[in-house]
Amino acid sequence: MTRVSRFGEPAEDELPDDIRAIYEANLKKVGFVPNVFRAYARRPEHFRAFMAYHDVLMKGPSNLTRAEREAIVVAVSSENRCQYCMTAHGAALRILGKDPILAEQIANNWRTAELTPRLRAILTFASRVNEPGFAASDEEIAALHAQGFSDDDVWDIAAIAAFFGFSNRMAGLMDMRPNPEFYGMGR
Amino acid sequence: MTRVSRFGEPAEDELPDDIRAIYEANLKKVGFVPNVFRAYARRPEHFRAFMAYHDVLMKGPSNLTRAEREAIVVAVSSENRCQYCMTAHGAALRILGKDPILAEQIANNWRTAELTPRLRAILTFASRVNEPGFAASDEEIAALHAQGFSDDDVWDIAAIAAFFGFSNRMAGLMDMRPNPEFYGMGR
Amino acid sequence: MTRVSRFGEPAEDELPDDIRAIYEANLKKVGFVPNVFRAYARRPEHFRAFMAYHDVLMKGPSNLTRAEREAIVVAVSSENRCQYCMTAHGAALRILGKDPILAEQIANNWRTAELTPRLRAILTFASRVNEPGFAASDEEIAALHAQGFSDDDVWDIAAIAAFFGFSNRMAGLMDMRPNPEFYGMGR
Amino acid sequence: MTRVSRFGEPAEDELPDDIRAIYEANLKKVGFVPNVFRAYARRPEHFRAFMAYHDVLMKGPSNLTRAEREAIVVAVSSENRCQYCMTAHGAALRILGKDPILAEQIANNWRTAELTPRLRAILTFASRVNEPGFAASDEEIAALHAQGFSDDDVWDIAAIAAFFGFSNRMAGLMDMRPNPEFYGMGR
Amino acid sequence: MTRVSRFGEPAEDELPDDIRAIYEANLKKVGFVPNVFRAYARRPEHFRAFMAYHDVLMKGPSNLTRAEREAIVVAVSSENRCQYCMTAHGAALRILGKDPILAEQIANNWRTAELTPRLRAILTFASRVNEPGFAASDEEIAALHAQGFSDDDVWDIAAIAAFFGFSNRMAGLMDMRPNPEFYGMGR
Amino acid sequence: MTRVSRFGEPAEDELPDDIRAIYEANLKKVGFVPNVFRAYARRPEHFRAFMAYHDVLMKGPSNLTRAEREAIVVAVSSENRCQYCMTAHGAALRILGKDPILAEQIANNWRTAELTPRLRAILTFASRVNEPGFAASDEEIAALHAQGFSDDDVWDIAAIAAFFGFSNRMAGLMDMRPNPEFYGMGR
């Protein structure tokens, strides 16, 4: 069996109760425990901080739909060539976006995907944030305002893009492997 | 007066109690509220998630000293040219590391700073993690083991480097300005 | 309906007989005419030269299996972010390689895919050829010999990688769109 | 004597008749057999496919003059630093373009060569095509139309640029050496 | 004691008289001999040529103030990560510019420093000159004229930026170490 | 007539006597005044500093032959795509090196030129120096020592490479045009 992470995973009977509960909720909902949980469980304090921030960004209040947020994750993870995130969030985008062909186009190359103008603006800025040494100019923020995005929308796009740049690097550190179940989901 | 962030900051009487308490603790301890708190306070849920994760990485249990952790932040923030983090964490490194000349060398260019072999190994790997598309090979992890770092040490170096790549981009998004007090601290 | 290419396609009754025969063979074999044929049919002399060279490389005698050749195409097309080739040759690799999960891993990032040592050596060299300004050193050719590849094997890897760098750019020129049928094939 | 290619060349008495005829035509016309023929002759099927495509692009019907086509080859080969193509096509450009100083300027750096607006537009687009990950936007195609280029002209510029990106890599693979005769031709 | 340069320095009694006089002038004026003099003194002819050109650029007649010239040096040396020049010229900029916070901002990242429009224009062009393969277009020179810079102003910006690109590389060659006195000057 | 430099040149009767003497010496020796003199003559103090340093590097005492020094200039100027220096120093290298084919190979791509091991070591290090952010490691200096180069030899290679990186940028600033006489010299 393929490894979960190069650093292994804790035995199930060593899991803290709150993490065990998350395992069980995943088993009930999707039938398996995504390897990101199993890999982070090695360090419970890191697990909790990562998942809390993830949930603020991906499930918290925002004008961005959940599919738009997943599209950001897939586009950035593709630019960063993150094997785990492209696979796991590719599945999420296929399901939440209800357009598996578009999801695959975004995974291949968001620039040549058949995007709405709104999603193109979102991914264009997400990709800017992903650049090394990113610092926004007043002009590019004004351009986003002119396209209808509020300050908080801009914040949300950037925070998701930048947080997954962090997450992509952690997956690259661990050689985190995608669960095989992800590949067929939402096709 | 220079702006805190291009997105402004909440009025003090609108602050949630937990965030107000952090402001007050900072005023008592260092005499001012670092702008990173004032900028994130606009989004309390983001503030809490960011600070919780920050504290796990920078104050939680680890074999890395607090000065080593700040050295990672300064080296990565310098590679990413983050105005806020170079200034604020530059001050922290001067104080915690007790060697202001070395701190400035690391801010200028960690590669040509006069580092111990241990700190050179730490910053070399932190810089690798900061590269776009980072994915560690088994060989480079083995090389770190051979230099005396455990799996958790490697995790800690990478997590700090990658988290501040995220933080640098958020500061670049907001045009977060360093408080003037930072420049003279620890000289 | 999505366009085939930004330059359009000829009416079917204007097709030369040899190209019409290729359309019909495709309809019979896979049920549709891949858009690469429809796009190149605008310039019959280019169509013929492209397909002749393609067939020498992808179907001619070689020690590389057809799945290995498709893996080269997918890896290079992914590095070049070619929407059409990742989709069309991704389908071919899933079918010929009989391992759709591995095919997706190669499309995501061949470097972190679970490759045999032989396929890793092939894709490592294909990626080298794809670099701008590629010129092989005697040392890297000797290293390939030491891994069991003959001069003609090395030629074949390089020729497929370089030819698809050309093909990727032609698809990028035309904004060649993948036929929707490709997405589900071989899953 | 300098090698033709690191993979050698076939003995003359092993050449297929069609390839031998090409050797003889070259001897008659320019007094020597360019090494590209001698290197490709090792693989007759590759030789035929390469030369057929080459002739469609460089000698077939097109609104681009033969000198303009050679200028594309020299500019792209210079960006790719291809020793063989810069030398052989540099000679061709000096002869066909009848301006050896301009030919050398293009070989040095087409951006600072003293070009007509038409040739500057052609080489600017050729250089774009040569970029890794090239995909044209509708805007840049429209800009070429506005400068007087038809869809087929744009195709021809791109096809020549991209094909020689392939050819440059094959020469880099083989360490193909320029015949010494090329250096003085057309000065 | 930290080395001056990896190539050492001449004994004081071997110094030519003109160089000894420069040592003494520095001791009188700033209390120490900057290591750039001690390192170059190994090659007196190089010392003289370097210092003569340096003085034309940094002290000769020009519409650029001495603080503006030092800002160019700090910005370019920061882009080139030159440990010696960031430290020595950082001190000079703090003193001549009389704004140590701004000086540190420029050392961190001139793009996000709080610059006047004039200094932003100067550093923007200096950074352009520092790019590999720099060649100015007529358009960018015209834009500088429109911002109020004469041909000689443009020459001065470029000459300082390019000369310190040379100087940065010489310091990088020698591993030239900053004198510890520089760190505290002008704070 | 093609311009000398975008900033023009002084009238001959305005030239200072020392610069006029250099013009006359050039006319006598090579039959024309290279445009680098005519362009720099606009700023006599810069002219003198530039030429003095140039002569220390290119004509002063050194273990490097004059042809080796010109090879460094051509290789670096080619990497920096400097139209003027490739042309003027290309002519110098053809004449001093007495091997016009090798000179052209170095101008095309020194990496694939047919170099002696000594010249390959020289140009490899010159190219390293030309990289942005160059700082030599102790290991690479030791490797040069092991190949027979002294500290002063290493200094000379680096100083020539870095000085011409400066000179290339000045030529790129001025759009300095090569005199047509250079193209045919030494063929």
Q: What is the DSSP string of A3-32?
A: -S-TT----GGGS-HHHHHHHHHHHHHHSS
- What is the distance in angstroms between the Cα of F111 and the nearest Cα belonging to chain C? 9
By percentage, how much of chain D surpasses pLDDT 70?
99
Partner A contacted by E109 (CB < 8 A): yes
- What is the distance in angstroms between the Cα of C56 and the nearest Cα belonging to chain D? 7
Residues of D in contact with C165 (CB under 8 A): 162, 165-166, 169
C residues 135-174 closer than 8 Å to D (CB): 135-136, 138, 141, 151-152, 154-155, 158-159, 161-163, 165-166, 168-170, 172-173
List the structure tokens of E119: 């200094």
B103/E184 Cα distance (integer angstroms): 13
D70/D123 Cα distance (integer angstroms): 11
pLDDT tens sequence across E23-65: 999 999 999 999 999 999 999 999 999 999 999 999 999 999 9
pLDDT at C38: 98
CB-based contact A101 C183, cutoff 8 Å: yes
Partner B contacted by C6 (CB < 8 A): no
Residues of E in contact with B172 (CB under 8 A): 112
pLDDT tens sequence across A12-62: 899 999 999 999 999 999 999 999 999 999 999 999 999 999 999 999 999
CB-based contact D86 F108, cutoff 8 Å: yes
C153/E35 Cα distance (integer angstroms): 56
Residues of C in contact with D141 (CB under 8 A): 6
Report how far apart, in Å, the C-alpha atoms of B90 and of each of B77, B184, D21, F9 are. 10, 10, 73, 49
Whether residue B1 has pLDDT greater than 60? no
- Per-block average pLDDT, block size 10, for chain F (187 residues)? 89 96 97 98 98 98 98 98 98 98 98 98 98 97 98 98 98 98 96
Report how far apart, in Å, the C-alpha atoms of F27 and of each of B155, F11, F19, F24, F34 are. 68, 16, 13, 5, 9
By percentage, how much of chain C surpasses pLDDT 90?
98
Q: What is the mean pLDDT of residues E80-85?
A: 98
CA D87 and chain centroid, separation = 10
Flag whether B touches D (3+ CB pairs, 8 A cutoff). no
Residues of D in contact with E135 (CB under 8 A): 109, 111-112
Of the pLDDT bands very low, low, confident and very high (cuts 50, 70, 90), residue D1 is low
Of the pLDDT bands very low, low, confident and very high (cuts 50, 70, 90), residue A150 is very high
Flag whether A touches C (3+ CB pairs, 8 A cutoff). yes
Q: Which residues contact E127 (CB under 8 A, 6 or more apart)?
A: E75, E76, E79, E110, E161
Of the pLDDT bands very low, low, confident and very high (cuts 50, 70, 90), residue A1 is low
- What is the distance in angstroms between the Cα of F127 and the nearest Cα belonging to chain B? 20
pLDDT at E3: 87
Which of D82, D87, D112 comes nearest F83 by C-beta?
Answer: D112
Residues of C in contact with A184 (CB under 8 A): 187
pLDDT at D3: 87
pLDDT at E47: 98
Using CB atoms, list chains with 3+ pairs below 8 Å to chain B. A, C, E, F
- Phi and psi torsions of D148, nearest 5°: 100, 10
Q: Is C42 left (phi over 0), alpha (psi -120 to 50) or beta?
A: alpha
Question: What chain E residue is nearest to A138 in terms of C-alpha separation?
Answer: E112
Question: What chain E residue is nearest to A136 in terms of C-alpha separation?
Answer: E112
Flag whether D touches F (3+ CB pairs, 8 A cutoff). yes
- Phi and psi torsions of A114, nearest 5°: -90, 80
List the structure tokens of E133: 């393969």
pLDDT at F3: 87
pLDDT tens sequence across D79-121: 999 999 999 999 999 999 999 999 999 999 999 999 999 999 9
List the structure tokens of A60: 């918290």
Which of D45, D136, D163 comes nearest C56 by C-beta?
Answer: D45
C162/F117 Cα distance (integer angstroms): 30
Per-position DSSP letters for A114-174, written without gaps between them: ---HHHHHHHHHHHHHHSTT----HHHHHHHHHTT--HHHHHHHHHHHHHHHHHHHHHHHH
E173/F166 Cα distance (integer angstroms): 16
Residues of F in contact with E134 (CB under 8 A): 80, 168-169, 172-173
Flag whether A touches B (3+ CB pairs, 8 A cutoff). yes
- What is the distance in angstroms between the Cα of F155 and the nearest Cα belonging to chain E? 8
- What is the distance in angstroms between the Cα of C168 and the nearest Cα belonging to chain B? 22
Tell which residue, D132, D187, D123, has the closest CA to residue D161.
D123
Tell which residue, B152, B143, B88, has the closest CA to residue B117.
B143
B102/B114 Cα distance (integer angstroms): 7
List the structure tokens of D119: 């040739």
Whether residue C124 has pLDDT greater than 90? yes
- pTM surpassing 0.80? yes
Report how far apart, in Å, the C-alpha atoms of D62 and of each of A64, D55, D122, D159 are. 50, 12, 14, 12
CB-based contact B81 E2, cutoff 8 Å: no
Q: Which residues contact B153 (CB under 8 A, 6 or more apart)?
A: B62, B63, B64, B144
Residues of E in contact with B109 (CB under 8 A): 81-83, 86
E106/C72 Cα distance (integer angstroms): 46
- What is the distance in angstroms between the Cα of D122 and the nearest Cα belonging to chain E? 18
CA B29 and chain centroid, separation = 19
Place of tokens 């000698």: D59
Residue pair C107/C74 in contact by the 8 Å Cβ criterion: yes
Q: What is the mean pLDDT of residues B165-171?
A: 98
Q: Which residues contact F49 (CB under 8 A, 6 or more apart)?
A: E49, E52, E53, E56
By percentage, how much of chain E surpasses pLDDT 70?
99
Using CB atoms, list chains with 3+ pairs below 8 Å to chain C. A, B, D, F
Residue pair A185/A94 in contact by the 8 Å Cβ criterion: yes
Question: Which ipTM was obtained for this model?
Answer: 0.97
Question: What chain B residue is nearest to F135 in terms of C-alpha separation?
Answer: B112
Tell which residue, F121, F169, F108, has the closest CA to residue F149.
F121
- What is the distance in angstroms between the Cα of E152 and the nearest Cα belonging to chain B? 31
E115/E127 Cα distance (integer angstroms): 15
CB-based contact D129 C173, cutoff 8 Å: yes
List the structure tokens of D31: 């007094």
Question: What chain E residue is nearest to A135 in terms of C-alpha separation?
Answer: E112
pLDDT at E72: 98
Tell which residue, D5, D23, D28, D3, has the closest CA to residue D13.
D23
**How many beta carbons lie within 10 A of that of residue A28, not counting itself?**
8
CB-based contact A43 B173, cutoff 8 Å: no
Query: CA-CA-CA-CA torsion for F97, F102, F105, F111, nearest 10 degrees?
Result: -90
Of the pLDDT bands very low, low, confident and very high (cuts 50, 70, 90), residue B3 is confident
C72/C48 Cα distance (integer angstroms): 23
List the structure tokens of F182: 């250079």
C140/D173 Cα distance (integer angstroms): 10
Of the pLDDT bands very low, low, confident and very high (cuts 50, 70, 90), residue A3 is confident
**How many beta carbons lie within 10 A of that of residue C10, not counting itself?**
15
Q: Is the dihedral of CA D1, D4, D10, D15 positive or negative?
A: negative
Q: In which element (H, E) is residue D161 found?
A: helix D151-174
Helix (H, G, I), strand (E, B) or coil at C70: helix
Whether residue B139 has pLDDT greater than 80? yes
A3/A177 Cα distance (integer angstroms): 7
Residue type, C16: P
